[in-house]
Amino acid sequence: MSDDSVVKAFAAARKAEVPLAELPEPTPPDLSRAFALQCAVSRELGWTQAGWKIGCTSERAQKALNASGPFPGTMFSNRVYRSGDFFPTSAANKRVVEPEVAFTMARDLPPRGQAYSLDEVMAAAGSVHVAIEIVNPRTPNGFADPVPWFIVDGGLNEGIVLGEARKLLSREQFASLKGAVTWNGEKRVGGVGANALGGSDIALAWLANHLNEHGTGLKQGDIISTGVITEFFSAGLGDTAEAIFEHLGTVSVRF
């Protein structure tokens, strides 16, 4: 199948909120082509991009998806919500709740010939939030499909719910911050910031340099979600989820 056909298939599935009946090709693309297809799907959708998510920054998530490492995904402004909002979803969606640390960028990190240092990346970040990313695969076999198709599928992002903006933490605080999560008022397994590649600041730097290697970069105003640090679970219609992160406050969402 041509790249254009692959792109149109994934864009149509995302707009319709209906999974693909079958994968568009029998062999998954290599990671470079998968990212190029992801960017092409974004253009085909025609939605305003709000930023990026990073998938599989934790060992728990990598084991769940059989991923060898992190990967990028796209987030769109029509799927950005605030704490306490009702998150629109169809019954067929997975609604995987992933409590994460998110950043809003204060300035651009454009592509250049050398990698960005962690200090440079964090100097470009403006604020930090506790967030809940909602994940929903559009692939036919859900989370059992090969990882490159998840990359094509926007990193499986369905939307994000942001808590209030806070001042940036120190590197030590990003690694050690504690996160708790409840599902319909019942406690689930919490976690610490270091679960996301050693800390969400490190994850943000990974994304900045991954994009740089592909000739693109982070932009002022971009929202970046850096990967789940606690237990994740599939919520049902009518459910409520809440995450409380040390130093960052609370975020909740209703389905």
pTM of the model: 0.96
For the chain, which residues make up each domain, given as ranges?
3-254
Determine whether 67 is exposed, middle or buried from the number of CB atoms within 10 Å of its CB (0-12, 13-18, 19+): middle
What's the pLDDT score for residue 1? 73
3-254 CATH choice from 1.10.287.70, 3.90.850.10, 3.40.50.300, 3.30.2090.10 = 3.90.850.10
Measured CA distances, 70 to 65, 93, 106, 129, 206 (Å): 11, 23, 24, 20, 9
Strands 71-76 and 49-55: antiparallel
Q: Is 72 helix (H, G, I), strand (E, B) or coil?
A: strand
Alpha-carbon distance of 189 to 177, in angstroms, equals 15
Alpha-carbon distance of 80 to 189, in angstroms, equals 25
What's the pLDDT score for residue 234? 96
Determine whether 92 is exposed, middle or buried from the number of CB atoms within 10 Å of its CB (0-12, 13-18, 19+): exposed
> Which portions of the chain are predicted below pLDDT 50?
none
Fill in the amino acid letter for 30.
D
Query: Residues 127, 168: contact at Cβ < 8 Å?
Result: yes
What's the pLDDT score for residue 179? 98
* Strand positions, DSSP E, the chain: 49-55, 71-76, 80-82, 96-105, 125-135, 157-162, 178-183, 186-187, 191-192, 223-228, 233-234, 240-245, 249-254
Query: Residues 138, 14: contact at Cβ < 8 Å?
Result: yes
